[in-house]
Amino acid sequence: MNVLIDNSDLFITGFKNTGILFVISGFFALILGTVVAGMRVSPAPAMRAAGTLYVNAVRNTPLTLILAFFALGYPKLGLPDISFMTAAVVGLSLYTATYVSEAIRSGINTVAVGQSEAARAIGLTFMQTLSLIVLPQAFRSVVPPLFSVFIALLKNTTVAAGFSVFEAGAIRANLSERGEPLLPGLLWVALIFVVLVLGILTPLQRYLEKKWRVAR
């Protein structure tokens, strides 16, 4: 308990930055993932191919490598400077978007064929069918897998600690600088994650799952 109280500044800043990383990356990942999912079911073969290529390439690359590229490689390219935080957000968004797109795509496949047939029968275009008819239904059945993706994102934010972002994963390095006991400090970090995942996100997932259950 002492470690937590004596270094509450570290823990508060650390988890605040974890929260910022989580919310911003989650937001962009959701948007990008939905767009990519739309591309992967679109009528144009080139769009499908581009979406598939992106998903397969990024999903088979470790997150650590993607973050390493944006944190260590990007500054060498002579482009406008970005902060380590921004680099981490870009890396996490690009990585998580592939999982979001796969979750949404499997959700699109659960929507009954009759729905999109009916939409086409009344003259809606592909974009209208997708955005007005299919996606609103798909999002509901996608809640459980999407939440798993976001839980994974929350845990993945710790990897950014390796690339100069001060968040929950970096608390350890700062504790050791102050000469504080490491094991209790790390166990506190682990415990806070357990509370965030099992205490907040999982109950929220159950609640939304129940509330938005598709009646079929």
Partner 1 sequence: MSSVLFDVPGPKARVRNVYLNIATIVVVVAVIAFIVFRFYESGQFTAKKWEIFTFPRVQQMFLKAIGATLSAFAVAAVGSIILGILLAFGRLSDTKWVRVPCYWFTELFRAVPLLILMMIMYYGLPSVGVKGITPFLAVVVGLILYNGSVLAEAFRAGIESLPKGQREAGLAMGMSKGQVLRIILLPQAIRAMLPVIIAQLVVILKDTALGFLITYNEILFLANYLGSQGQYGSPVVPALMVTAVIYVGLCLILSGIAKFTEYKMSSRTRAVKIKVDTAG
Residue ranges in contact with partner 1 by CB under 8 A:
41-47, 50, 57, 60-65, 68-69, 72-73, 76-79, 99, 103, 108-109, 111-113, 116, 120, 126, 129-130, 134, 144-145, 148-149, 151-152, 155-156, 158-159, 161-162, 168-169, 172, 176, 181-183, 186-187, 189-190, 193-194, 197-198
At its nearest, how many Å lie between partner 1 and the CB of residue 213? 16
Taking the least distance from each CB to partner 1, the nearer of 85 and 196 is: 196
207, 200 in Cβ contact below 8 A? no
At its nearest, how many Å lie between partner 1 and the CB of residue 9? 20
Taking the least distance from each CB to partner 1, the nearer of 62 and 136 is: 62
Pull the structure tokens for residue 139: 């999002």
Instruction: Report CA-CA distances (Å) from 6 to 1, 10, 11, 188, 196.
Output: 9, 9, 10, 13, 22
Taking the least distance from each CB to partner 1, the nearer of 87 and 159 is: 159
Terminal Cα distance for the chain, rounded:
50
102, 179 in Cβ contact below 8 A? no
Name the DSSP letter for residue 178: T
Taking the least distance from each CB to partner 1, the nearer of 89 and 175 is: 175
Taking the least distance from each CB to partner 1, the nearer of 50 and 82 is: 50
Positive or negative torsion for Cα 65, 66, 69, 71? negative
At its nearest, how many Å lie between partner 1 and the CB of residue 71? 10
At its nearest, how many Å lie between partner 1 and the CB of residue 193? 5
Q: Is 111 left (phi over 0), alpha (psi -120 to 50) or beta?
A: beta
